[in-house]
């Protein structure tokens, strides 16, 4: 009889231990599953995200090159909104760009010093696809198309006391008009924090290569 009681006691203890272990396993699995819901599967840039970016660039579709020409860096201000989310593995953004580029040229003519200045003020509308190619939410690879309006001002300064009388002045003054042009770009942004990122872009529009920083809000 004592042996029967012993077996029953051992069976009860084993069942209680097994039940407790099974409950602990279920709790662990449930906790893990709940935690995975908080792991972002998309980039910090997603639907509803707004980004303000500033940067500088070089190159681009500017015709004035060569000896005697000097250029300022492209000054770039960009706004982007994650307008359409969950488009395949990424997000489609819509936004705009404002940029400025200054170019000058110094030369001698008729024994007088002349300086030509071109100022490019560029307003652009653009759309981009942000591809979540990695499970790291800090990475944002994107590419898109841009349509830009180039507003160009031109001025000539000289030390000719009789005024601008050479043909170069009249030719340049009449030949530089405003225009609209399309372009494409490819970029990559890395979020240092969820709100702050650094980026670089390649393209042929306001610049050929640009770098800068972004603020998410």
Q: How far apart are the C-alpha atoms of 90 and 95, rounded to whole Å?
A: 16
Residue 108 has a pLDDT of 80
Q: How far apart are the C-alpha atoms of 102 and 71, rounded to whole Å?
A: 6
Query: Please, what is the average pLDDT of the chain?
Result: 79
Closest to 76 in 3D by CA, of 57, 51, 94, 96: 57
Q: What is the pLDDT of residues 90-106, one digit of tens each?
A: 999 999 999 999 999 88
Q: How far apart are the C-alpha atoms of 196 and 46, rounded to whole Å?
A: 14
The pTM for the full model equals: 0.71
Evaluate the CA torsion angle 88, 89, 93, 97 in order and state its sign. negative
* Range 80-85 average pLDDT: 95
Closest to 69 in 3D by CA, of 22, 110, 101, 21: 101
Adjacent-strand bridge partners of 121? 100, 151
Q: Dihedral angle at the C-alpha atoms of 197, 200, 206, 208, nearest 10 degrees?
A: 180
Regarding predicted confidence, which is higher, 170 or 115?
115
DSSP 162: T
Q: What is the pLDDT of residues 14-61, one digit of tens each?
A: 445 545 544 543 454 444 444 443 334 457 899 999 999 999 999 887
* Range 132-156 average pLDDT: 90
Question: Are 180 and 202 spatial neighbours (Cβ–Cβ below 8 Å)?
Answer: no
SS3 state at 84: strand
Q: How far apart are the C-alpha atoms of 136 and 96, rounded to whole Å?
A: 27
Token digits for 23? 């409950």
Closest to 152 in 3D by CA, of 177, 128, 172, 134: 177
Closest to 98 in 3D by CA, of 13, 206, 1: 206
- For the ranges 26-30, 47-51, 114-118, 137-141, the lowest mean pLDDT is seen at 26-30
């Amino acid at each position: 009889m004592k042996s029967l009681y012993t077996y029953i006691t051992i069976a009860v203890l084993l069942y209680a231990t097994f039940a407790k272990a099974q409950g602990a396993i279920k709790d662990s699995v449930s906790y893990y599953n709940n935690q995975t819901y908080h792991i972002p599967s998309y980039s910090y840039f997603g639907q509803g995200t707004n980004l303000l970016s500033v940067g500088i660039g070089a190159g681009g579709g500017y015709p004035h090159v060569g000896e005697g020409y000097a250029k300022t860096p492209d000054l770039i201000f960009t706004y982007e909104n994650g307008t359409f989310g969950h488009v395949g593995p990424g997000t489609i953004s819509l936004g705009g760009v404002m940029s400025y580029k200054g170019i000058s040229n110094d030369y001698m003519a008729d024994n007088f010093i002349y300086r030509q200045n071109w100022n490019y003020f560029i307003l652009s509308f653009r759309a981009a696809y942000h591809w979540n190619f990695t499970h790291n939410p800090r990475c944002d690879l994107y590419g898109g198309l841009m349509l830009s309006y180039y507003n160009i001002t031109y001025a000539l300064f000289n030390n000719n006391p009789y005024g601008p009388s050479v043909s170069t002045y009249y030719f340049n003054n009449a030949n530089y008009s405003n225009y609209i042009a399309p372009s494409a770009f490819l970029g990559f942004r890395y979020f240092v924090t969820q709100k702050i990122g650094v980026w670089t872009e390649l393209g042929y529009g306001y610049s050929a290569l640009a770098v800068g920083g972004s603020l998410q809000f």
